[in-house]
Amino acid sequence: QQQVKQSPQSLIVQKGGISIINCAYENTAFDYFPWYQQFPGKGPALLIAIRPDVSEKKEGRFTISFNKSAKQFSLHIMDSQPGDSATYFCAATLQYSSASKIIFGSGTRLSIRP
């Protein structure tokens, strides 16, 4: 029930295209869904996050779509650029609980072809 399932495992997108990564969760108690971007040899960095009371959040070229009834959320990267090539992790947690841990998806390796 604590799992977060992420797909695809890897993704190749042409420059300028839209990259889409999907995640699904089971625990309806989760109240915070962050996405992390990780470059090789670096720690993950928070990219964008959403709470379940909204269906979409947009920050620049990055958009999270959230479907509470389906327990699914996705990251859309518009106008994908070579600099977006990285591994992306979706995650879920309880942001107001001091005892909460971040549950990570398995990751998606995104490659943007020039």
Partner 1 sequence: GAVVSQHPSRVICKSGTSVKIECRSLDFQATTMFWYRQFPKQSLMLMATSNEGSKATYEQGVEKDKFLINHASLTLSTLTVTSAHPEDSSFYICSARDPGLAGGQYEQYFGPGTRLTVT
12-20, 60-68, 72-80, 99-107 -> range binding partner 1 (CB under 8 A)? 99-107
65 near partner 1, rule: CB under 8 A:
no
91/103 Cα distance (integer angstroms): 5
Q: Can you tell me which of 12, 42, 65, 82 binds partner 1, judged by CB under 8 A?
A: 42
Q: How far is the CB of 5 from partner 1 (least distance, A)?
A: 11
22/28 Cα distance (integer angstroms): 17
Give the interface with partner 1 as residue ranges (CB under 8 A).
Answer: 32, 36, 41-46, 89, 93, 95-98, 100-102, 104-107, 109
